[in-house]
Amino acid sequence: MKTYGLIGFPLTHSFSQRYFSEKFAKEGIANCQYQLFELPDLKDLPALVGNTQGLCGLNVTIPHKQNVLAYLDELDPVAAQIGAVNVIKVLANGKLKGYNSDYYGFKLSLEKMLRASNSFADFGCEQPQTQLQPQQTQPLQQTSPLPSLRAFILGNGGAAQAVKAALNTLQIDYQVVSQKNTTESIGYEEVSNLMSSHHLVINTTPLGMYPNLATAPLLPYCQFTPQHFAFDLVYNPEQTLFMQQAAQQGATVKNGLEMLYLQAEKAWEIWQ
């Protein structure tokens, strides 16, 4: 029996366990199981790996995505650049290799959003790939220059690092917007000065996520236009308050559900 699973703490409900259990059943993938491994302290990871028969791969969630790097033998170059791992592959020799599939999920989902609105054509870009290719696990490559498209990244936590790497690959300039005062970021009160030059707004904060449906990033929503894109990494609810307010001004909006599925499929591809 091949075993896959999720490490994190606390693990109350898990998208990954439901997704992979349903995938195994639906696609007739035999002799595979997906388990939850609640792991308050990462120092227990080597024992978990050693004691779990048939362990082939793990997903990693809060709060271990960054600290887990110290427990890995190898690191995919993309994950190394991002500084966070959400997928671990147990190699044939028993060593652990870390990857970041959020990067792939976000990049492909964003490309689909821009392509659907013909923005790649507008910005004179090559058509992006629609399939996740194995060679995408190679070091980051600059692929699709979008010279006129600039982005705001709202929040500067774990998921924001994967978003930055994806935007770097797509050559989309970005400005981080944070509650914290850093040299890399601006404050929310400064966004209104730049809304007309930044047409892609990406929410990587948990604001608006169930059950806090009435919360949203503090933005000048009246400045969204039909030329704007609002991408929310939040996937529950389907339409967040951030998306609703941007859509009211005619902006194109997208939630994080497709990204969630794409990163899960990328994890499966990595484990094969």
Interface positions with ligand NAP (CB under 6 A)? 102, 105, 155-160, 178-180, 204-207, 209, 233-235, 256, 259-260, 263
Q: Quick one: 110 or 233, whose CB is closer to ligand NAP?
A: 233
Residue 46 CA, distance from chain mean position: 26
Beta bridge partners of 33: 3
Q: Does residue 65 carry a catalytic annotation?
A: yes
Q: Quick one: 4 or 125, whose CB is closer to ligand NAP?
A: 4
d(CA 137, CA 100): 9
Name the catalytic one among 65, 89, 107, 266: 65
Q: In whole angstroms, how close is the CB of 54 to ligand NAP at the nearest point?
A: 27
d(CA 36, CA 269): 20
Beta bridge partners of 169: none
In the bound state, the residue with its beta carbon closest to ligand NAP is 157
Beta bridge partners of 152: 175, 201
Contact call for residues 251 and 223 (beta carbons, < 8 A): no
Q: In whole angstroms, how close is the CB of 7 to ligand NAP at the nearest point?
A: 15
Residue 126: CB atoms within 10 Å: 9
Contact call for residues 216 and 243 (beta carbons, < 8 A): no
Q: Quick one: 252 or 263, whose CB is closer to ligand NAP?
A: 263
Q: In whole angstroms, how close is the CB of 70 to ligand NAP at the nearest point?
A: 18
Q: Quick one: 144 or 263, whose CB is closer to ligand NAP?
A: 263
Give residue 151's identity as a one-letter amino acid code: A
Q: In whole angstroms, how close is the CB of 49 to ligand NAP at the nearest point?
A: 23
- Residues with active-site annotation: 65
